[in-house]
């Protein structure tokens, strides 16, 4: 019997297939596989629905899927930030509807210019986030309760803002152009190439920096594989968009927000403070971090992003009505963040969770719509997927805790 037989963790350090397999199992148990499980899940889901209905992978359907993702995904980015704190925001759906209603009423009924109405909608989200964040931090009321109360209150406010008509149709070209503007196909290819080059350069620079600091670095083969997978995915997306209407402005906005929030989380002091508070609030406070200020700012950002998502949804539908932000908006936004890999327990996650998780949950919804599945079944399937993702997160957390005690 060898030392590796006594301690399975040491097998991962041995060469050959045994070490590779043991390392993979360890990373899987501790939730350290990154986005790989989500990417594999997307591929499996797309294959299943393509076999069931060959219209699923057509450029028109996939482009429509991406347009829907822009709205839900933007809301989900804000949810990611709140989850990183170990909190939850149940008001994002209602906030998105109310902000869109404020924008629509100011533009259509009050004659405000489109760009100014959009800013007013975003400001509505920021004010709501400030109010809810103040209540959480000042009175120490659980965010679950505060945002649940907000969900009810902002839903009522939506009905008041819309008035008796209940529906406001939007014709302003600036507002509707957010989702219905498409750039020529060449721009889709150029954007894909730029993102691939930027991603490869960042990862190589990060690897070099870690090596210079004496920190462990992933094997070059692993890095090259990641770059190739990202490149294939982006070029395939560009091909799909080029085969339909071109590059949608809404996707540029959404992807830009994802990149900016990811940089905020990983490259700024504020982002490190968010992760620290979510990982261990008391330790963060003892380290001198202004915990209440961090929490307040996160709720402001989450509500503002929810407002942005509601505006994008209104732009896509050319209208705001009493059901805006209702139905399954909250479910889809939270599911996107959790399924994409953001931990419910705080301290772990990425803005890219909103993109990948949104693709998963919206692909399931889109595929079932094409198959004519009843709404009752769709809700049960979506709920099951969310529960599965939460279970994987809980098991991964337990695995990390066990590894830390060992």
For CA atoms 83, 88, 92, 93, give the dihedral sign.
positive
* CA nearest to 74, candidates 307, 359, 326: 307
* CA nearest to 331, candidates 66, 145, 96: 96
pLDDT of residue 153: 96
User: pLDDT tens-digit profile of 325-365?
Assistant: 887 899 899 989 998 888 888 888 889 999 999 999 999 99
Residue 312 lies in a domain: yes
Report the domain count for the chain. Answer: 1
Q: What residues have CB less than 8 Å from 262, skipping those under 6 apart?
A: 350, 351, 352
Q: What's the Cα-to-Cα distance from 344 to each of 10, 329, 330, 387, rounded to whole Å?
A: 30, 19, 15, 12
CATH number assigned to the domain comprising residue 327: 1.10.3470
In angstroms, the CA 128 to CA 136 distance is 12
In degrees rounded to 5, what are phi and psi of residue 169? Answer: -85, 140
User: pLDDT tens-digit profile of 49-106?
Assistant: 999 999 999 999 999 999 999 999 999 999 999 999 999 999 999 999 999 999 999 9
- Tally the residues of the chain: 406
For CA atoms 284, 285, 286, 288, give the dihedral sign.
positive
Residue 337 lies in a domain: yes
Please provide the average confidence, as pLDDT, over all residues in the chain: 87
In angstroms, the CA 4 to CA 86 distance is 37
Residue 369 lies in a domain: yes
Q: Is 262 helix (H, G, I), strand (E, B) or coil?
A: helix
Residue 157 lies in a domain: yes
**pTM of the complete model:** 0.89
Residue 94 lies in a domain: yes
Using a 10 angstrom Cβ sphere, with 0-12 exposed, 13-18 middle and 19 or more buried, the burial of residue 15 is exposed
User: pLDDT tens-digit profile of 251-266?
Assistant: 999 999 999 999 999 9
Q: Provide the domain limits for residue 275.
A: 53-184+246-400
In angstroms, the CA 361 to CA 292 distance is 33
User: pLDDT tens-digit profile of 117-141?
Assistant: 999 999 999 999 999 999 999 999 9
Query: pLDDT class for 11, splitting at 50, 70, 90?
Result: very low
Residue 9 lies in a domain: no
In angstroms, the CA 247 to CA 1 distance is 60
Residue 237 lies in a domain: no
Residue 305 lies in a domain: yes
């Amino acid at each position: 019997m060898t030392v590796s037989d006594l301690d399975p963790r040491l097998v991962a350090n041995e060469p050959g297939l045994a070490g590779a397999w043991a390392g993979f199992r360890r990373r899987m148990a501790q939730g350290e596989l990154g986005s790989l499980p989500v990417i594999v899940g997307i591929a499996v889901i797309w294959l299943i629905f393509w076999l069931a209905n060959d219209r699923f992978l057509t450029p028109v359907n996939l482009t429509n899927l991406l347009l829907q993702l822009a709205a839900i995904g933007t809301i989900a980015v804000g949810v990611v930030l709140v989850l990183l704190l170990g909190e939850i925001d149940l008001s994002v759906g209602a906030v998105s509807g109310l902000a869109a209603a404020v924008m629509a009423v100011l533009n259509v009924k009050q004659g405000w210019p489109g760009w100014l109405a959009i800013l007013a909608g975003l400001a509505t989200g920021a004010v709501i986030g400030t109010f809810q964040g103040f209540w959480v931090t000042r009175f120490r009321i659980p965010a679950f309760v505060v945002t649940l109360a907000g969900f009810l209150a902002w839903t009522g406010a939506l009905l008041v803002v819309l008035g008796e008509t209940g529906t406001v149709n939007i014709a302003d070209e600036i507002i509707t152009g957010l989702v219905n503007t498409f750039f020529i196909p060449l721009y889709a290819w150029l954007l894909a190439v730029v993102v691939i080059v930027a991603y490869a350069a960042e990862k190589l620079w990060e690897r070099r920096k870690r090596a210079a600091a004496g920190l462990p670095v992933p094997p070059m083969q692993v890095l090259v594989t990641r770059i190739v997978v990202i490149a294939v995915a982006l070029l395939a997306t560009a091909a799909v968009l080029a085969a339909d209407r071109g590059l949608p402005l809404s996707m540029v906005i959404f992807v830009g927000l994802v990149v900016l929030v990811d940089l905020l989380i990983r490259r700024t002091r504020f982002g490190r403070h968010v992760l620290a508070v979510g990982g261990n609030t008391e330790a963060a406070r003892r380290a001198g971090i202004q915990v209440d200020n961090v929490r307040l700012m996160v709720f402001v950002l989450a509500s503002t992003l929810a407002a942005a998502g509601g505006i994008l949804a209104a732009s896509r539908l050319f209208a705001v009505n009493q059901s805006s932000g209702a139905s399954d908006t909250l479910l889809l936004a939270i599911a996107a963040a959790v399924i994409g890999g953001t931990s419910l327990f705080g301290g772990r996650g990425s803005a890219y969770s909103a993109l990948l998780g949104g693709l998963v949950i919206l692909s399931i919804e889109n595929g079932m719509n094409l198959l004519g599945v009843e709404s009752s079944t769709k809700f049960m399937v979506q709920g099951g997927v969310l529960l599965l993702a939460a279970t994987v997160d809980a098991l991964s957390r337990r695995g990390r805790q066990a590894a830390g005690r060992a």
